[in-house]
Amino acid sequence: MAEFVTLEVADGIGTITIARPPVNALSLQVHRELVASARQANSNADIRAVIVYGGEKVFAAGDDVKEMAELSAGEMALLAGDIQAALGAIATITQPTVAAISGYALGGGLEVALGADRRIVGDNVKLGLPEILLGVIPGGGGTQRLARLIGPSKAKDLIFTGRFVDADEALAIGLVDEVVAPDEVYNAARAWAQQFVGGPAKALAAAKSAIDDGLATDLESGLAIERRAFADLFATKDVGIGLQSFVANGPGRAEFTGE
């Protein structure tokens, strides 16, 4: 049974919660439990959207530096792939995902959040990738996901300096998508996730995959990915439901089954 990362399901929404007081430092055990929770979410057809949350005080203040300091270069070479996979585990979830961020999301904590489709933060947050201050670079996907999200120039500024940004700057540069009062972070994330409960699950997964996979390649290859995904959806029950509902009742009235 997981000690620090849990997955709870209610009303079609899964919540992955990181709880390792006092600051949710991401130890190797937390890494393993993040991967396990992401896999559980993927395999649960009852989950239509996923929230990743660190609680009311802090999302995650980074990797467990004390644990990392004890690793040799050889050990880190063996672990680097596992670390990257763990901190990017949220990105492997096929359902829509949203990170609900309170307090701090730093280093590996921000890398976890970068794997989500959307980021909602409290207006008191501090975000950053300060690994350079330890003499290293982000190793959990930060150099790649941040640059794709906010552009290489802004990503280089944050990574080269290791500085923290507040909620206003994070929103302005596109690092986060919504800023709310600190005690409304989880509720706002749940309101966003709720939109997809009862939605066409296979189409949502296809849209997410087409966007993410397309961004990793050239335009022509991306268009081919989209074309295949679009055609494949016509074998699903929800397409028939959606088309028939549109003809009979107009848009936005279909009652999808997720099949």
Residue 33 among the catalytic residues: no
- Token representation of residue 108: 């590996």
Q: Give the CA-trace dihedral at 214, 178, 104, 88, to 10 degrees.
A: -20
* DSSP SS3 for 154: helix
* DSSP SS3 for 118: strand
**What DSSP designation does 26 have?**
B
- Token representation of residue 204: 């949502």
Q: Where are the beta strands (DSSP E) in 78-175?
A: 97-101, 104-106, 118-122, 126-128, 165-166
Of residues 67, 70, 131, 184, which has the active-site annotation? 131
Cβ contact 23:48 at 8 Å: no
Separation CA 190–CA 76 (nearest Å): 37
Residue 56 among the catalytic residues: no
- Token representation of residue 55: 């609680």
Cα 60 to Cα 57, 153, 240: the distances in Å are 9, 25, 43
Of residues 3, 70, 111, 178, which has the active-site annotation? 111
- Token representation of residue 116: 């989500």
Separation CA 203–CA 188 (nearest Å): 24
- Token representation of residue 205: 């997964």
Question: Which residue numbers are catalytic?
Answer: 111, 131
